[in-house]
Amino acid sequence: MELDDWIERQAQLSANLMERAISATNLRRERAAFGQMIVPARGSVLASPSMADWNPEPDYFFHWLRDSASVMRAVAELAADARNEAERRRWTRHFNDFVDFSLALTRIDGADYPSLQEKTQPGFRKFLRPGDAMRALAGDALLGEPRFNPDGSPDALRWSRPQYDGPALRALACLRFLATGGAASEAMRELLHRDLDFTRRHAGAACIGPWEEAEENAHHYYVALVQFGALVHGRAFVTAPDAEARLRAVLDRHWSEDHQVYAAIWPLRGGGRDDIVDTACLLGVVDADLPGGPHSVDDPRLWLTFAALEDLFAREFPINRGRGAPALGRSRNDRYFGGGAWYVTTLAAASLCYRRSMIARGDAFMTTIRGFTPADGHLAEQFDRTTGIPASARDLTWSYAAFISAARTRRACRQEGDGGIFFVR
């Protein structure tokens, strides 16, 4: 099968598989150790519909703000590209349900939710959050949450917090929906104002990064960049020149003149170039989708960072030997489920190439993705750095969304020719 045909087929399959995780009201998730029975609500987005308890696959039966925002950006694009009115209405309904569900999450009061302490088996109580942390969930503490149960209740389990990119990413999803021809409901306007105002007030603040490592409460290039992107694209709803200026300064601080790359975390953690680069920087440029200038696809420093990441993973991963474009992991020191290659990071590389009209280079990354996509088209979170076997969570919804968006960017690039693609309509 030609690459063009395979990409279009996989994009359609990805849309079908991704949709299973949206408003998955037919599923039931029992966490017996915690006395929980979770039934997803309309508008929720599962990070993965697979049922697992870290035995060995991770439990991703949550509504993550970051993952759900990526999914909803893809949903906005699917609505815009729908083949008929019924299909357009279906995707639009999914987006509006997501907005209603998300707005309800911002109104949670943790004091209304009883403790799980007594329901939880003794050996699992160490995994519960402290009761006072749960009761304090309201306002900004709530908006700094990385994830919720898909039934709309707060997450009672220990996790890496706070995370300040979620509201910015959710705002970017809503702004993409509007940019692709969607209409703003009153609920969407309220959600946008809440998310953008939170982003303005927490612009450039230290927090947990996109990979949610507990020891990395710091300044993250990815977080600052998506915050900046949300404020730039959201100026019709919130104007925040001081916050934008602060974020520009924060982002510029991540440039390492010595190593000629953007460092993912500041202050720098020491080590050489290979130790400070991370594909989260590429994801940030894709997600922020700035219309030009520094920290956009026009930024020469981005492409130096891109080249450093290509070189790193070409050397580090045995699966990349002899490949035209390397499969990309997260960072050199990543060991999560073996620290393999990720679909979303490799697809981010393809998307950036397409946005610069580098079609052949983007296609080389897509060819690599094809080489590690099972025959049934199901995409996991990772694939092993040595064997290429799928690893970690099965059916990662974010992987499907990333494929859909990369394929769409490719189509737009081929249609428009030179000049690049920004905030693709």
**What distance in Å separates the CA atoms of residue 377 and residue 7, rounded to the nearest whole number?**
11
User: Quick check: 263 and 256 in contact, CB under 8 A?
Assistant: yes
pLDDT at 162: 97
Rounded average pLDDT per 10-residue block, the chain, 425 residues: 97 98 98 96 98 95 98 98 98 98 97 94 96 94 97 97 98 98 97 98 98 96 98 97 98 97 92 96 98 97 98 98 98 97 98 97 98 98 98 98 98 72 37
Domains of the chain in start order, with CATH, are 3-416 (1.50.10.10)
Beta strands in 4-145 (DSSP E): 29-31, 36-38, 63-64
pLDDT of residue 417: 60
- Integer CA distances (angstroms), 12 to 82, 87, 401, in order: 11, 13, 11
Report whether 347 contacts 402 (CB < 8 A): yes
Q: Nearest-CA neighbor of 239 among 194, 176, 196, 189?
A: 196
Pair 187, 100: CB distance under 8 Å: yes
Angle at 367 between CA 354 and CA 321, to 5 degrees: 115
| Phi and psi, residue 194, nearest 5° | -65, -50
How far apart are the C-alpha atoms of 229 and 284, rounded to whole Å? 9
Cα→Cα distances 414→16, 128, 280, 404, 425, Å: 24, 50, 26, 16, 14
Buried b (16+ CB within 10 A) or exposed e, 271-293: eebbbbbbbbbbbbbbbbbbeee
